[in-house]
Amino acid sequence: MSTTSLEPIPRGPAIRRGLSLLRAALRGQGIDPARDPLAASIVFLAVPMVLEMLMESIFVVVDIFFVSKLGADAVAAVGLTEAMLALLYTVAGGLSIGVTAMVARRTGERDADGAAATTVQAILLGMAVGLIGGLQAPRLLALMGAGDTVIALGSGYTRVMLSGSGVILLLFLINASFRGAGDAAIAMRVLWLANLINLILDPLLIFGIGPFPELGVTGAAVATTTGRSVAVLAQLGTLLFANGRLRLRARHLHLHPAVMARLVRLSATGMFQIFIATASWIGLTRILAGFGSAALAGYTISIRIVLFALLPAWGLANAAATLVGQSLGARDPGRAERAVWIAAFMNLVFLGAIGILILATAPLIVSWFGGDAQTGHIATHALRIVSAGFFFYAFGMVLTQSFNGAGATWTPTLLNLFCFWLWELPLAWVLSHQSNVGPNGVFASITIAFSTIAVASAWLFRRGHWKASVV
């Protein structure tokens, strides 16, 4: 999985250059994002980052597809376990913010030993946090409201998934190191590997095909954890033996208290940042619950469509974050700033087009997800209201991630705190309960809050204090 820069992107017609850049992004070769032209570097990093995020989301989809053959109780066990794992994903996402920022900064400084030392500290931290284990799986399912049948069917699944929490953390954190170093294609490939193994093992272990034992819903957990474990082994093998941008040697394999302290400081803020955003979605759901099941179902359908549409935009935002960290490490804040604005305008073109498409075809898109007429009506309104803000989201997503890439993690954290908890949630309550718009008031609060973040982020970014962040 070497990422040595080879075969530079040729000059010539735009289509030819675009296809060459796409091939380079998938191979992880041909571009040095720390020093090559910014537009090409952004695409080079964004393409594998988008595919990486897509691969991570496929795990649950594949599990649900096969487990659904076992009945509603088995599906309920998977759903409840995923709800419990949401906290773990919050921790992993917050830790990843700190890891990417620090590795990107060291990479920009051409400090290969520093980037490697940070990666080792991330691995040690992931192993320590991952010692949660799954011994209390039945009790946790009961606390989540599961009935006796669900507990009997799902305890094995929950136990295996929670026991594999360390593997989940390592997969997230090592991939964060690869992204920070500019090796986004490696992060993408290991998730391809994990998903392929999960896809093959799921039916074999759930239904006991051939020589494999019939494990039922527990088989889905074994397949998923096995796929992720093999992916982690591939990550470690790449770090130790491949000739990439990030390479571990024996001298790096020990605790660096100062590096660990910086990593924990950045990551703790990142975790709080993600927790604020996650809790705000829960708050919106609670407000919508007062309008009945149709409102909740319509909201769920529309938000899932929106989140899927935003996946490529997150890839551009993460690419900008990596370039900011690397450019600041190279003591070139001008390049960092240019990278952010280029990524933001690229995101504007992409998300703007997607937003217009959704506005025009919302009823058709919603119809693909089934549901009754009332649910479809609410989902259509929600989709149109939320997607109307895509032009703002394009800038907000890139700018907030760029603060994280610079190590200025408190800036987006405080923005989330104000815009989601002190602005979005009260606004959602007032618009939905104190006016005649009902659930549409909740949907409007989402658009207003994210647009507010975009405007505030742009103002803070232009002030430039993020350029002085120490990582």
| Per-residue confidence in pLDDT tens, the chain, 471 aa | 444 444 445 555 667 777 888 888 888 877 888 788 898 899 899 999 888 888 877 776 787 788 878 877 777 777 777 767 777 888 889 999 999 999 999 999 999 999 999 999 999 998 888 775 545 555 655 665 556 666 666 677 878 888 888 899 999 999 999 999 999 999 999 999 999 999 999 999 999 998 999 998 889 889 999 999 999 999 999 999 988 889 999 899 999 999 999 999 999 999 999 999 888 988 888 888 888 878 888 888 888 888 888 888 888 999 999 999 999 999 999 999 999 999 999 999 999 999 999 999 999 988 887 667 888 899 899 999 999 999 899 999 999 999 999 999 999 999 999 999 999 999 999 999 888 788 999 999 999 999 999 999 999 999 999 999 888
Residues 288 and 242 in one domain: no
Residues 354 and 247 in one domain: no
Residues 137 and 285 in one domain: no
- Token pair of 250 as six digits: 């024996």
Residues 242 and 329 in one domain: no
Residues 138 and 242 in one domain: yes
In a domain, 81, yes or no: yes
Who's near 218: CB < 8 A, 6+ residues apart? 156, 157, 160
Write down how long the chain is: 471
In contact, 201 and 222? CB cutoff 8 Å: yes
Rounded Cα distance between 116 and 104, Å, is: 11
Q: Establish how many alpha carbons lie within 13 A of residue 255's alpha carbon, considering only the half-sphere containing its beta carbon.
A: 7
Angle between helices 425-433 and 257-289 (to 10 degrees): 0
In a domain, 455, yes or no: yes
Q: Establish how many alpha carbons lie within 13 A of residue 377's alpha carbon, considering only the half-sphere containing its beta carbon.
A: 5
Residues 171 and 300 in one domain: no
- Token pair of 346 as six digits: 């690229």
Domain extent, residue 370, equals 271-468
pTM (predicted TM-score): 0.86
In a domain, 303, yes or no: yes
Residues 228 and 283 in one domain: no
Instruction: Give burial (CB, 10 Å; 0-12/13-18/19+) of 45.
Output: buried
Rounded Cα distance between 224 and 205, Å, is: 11
Rounded Cα distance between 336 and 331, Å, is: 9
What is the pLDDT, as a whole number, of residue 7? 44
In a domain, 11, yes or no: no
Rounded Cα distance between 73 and 69, Å, is: 11
In a domain, 9, yes or no: no
Rounded Cα distance between 217 and 411, Å, is: 42
In a domain, 115, yes or no: yes
In contact, 160 and 225? CB cutoff 8 Å: yes
What is the pLDDT, as a whole number, of residue 139? 63
Instruction: Read off the amino acid at residue 300.
Output: T
Residues 232 and 323 in one domain: no
- Token pair of 207 as six digits: 């239904």
Q: Tell me which of 197, 230, 255 is where a domain ends.
A: 255
In a domain, 15, yes or no: no
Cα angle value 350/354/357 (rounded, 5°): 145
Who's near 231: CB < 8 A, 6+ residues apart? 171, 190, 191, 193, 194, 197
Q: Tell me which of 225, 255, 285 is where a domain ends.
A: 255
What is the pLDDT, as a whole number, of residue 2? 40
Residues 79 and 205 in one domain: yes
Render 428-471 in DSSP notation, one character per residue. Answer: HHHHHHSSS-THHHHHHHHHHHHHHHHHHHHHHHHHTGGGG---
What is the pLDDT, as a whole number, of residue 137? 53
- Token pair of 255 as six digits: 């605790």
Residues 45 and 192 in one domain: yes
Residues 246 and 323 in one domain: no
Residues 50 and 132 in one domain: yes
In a domain, 292, yes or no: yes
Q: Tell me which of 255, 288, 322 is where a domain ends.
A: 255
Rounded Cα distance between 102 and 254, Å, is: 17
Rounded Cα distance between 80 and 330, Å, is: 46
Count of domains forming the chain: 2
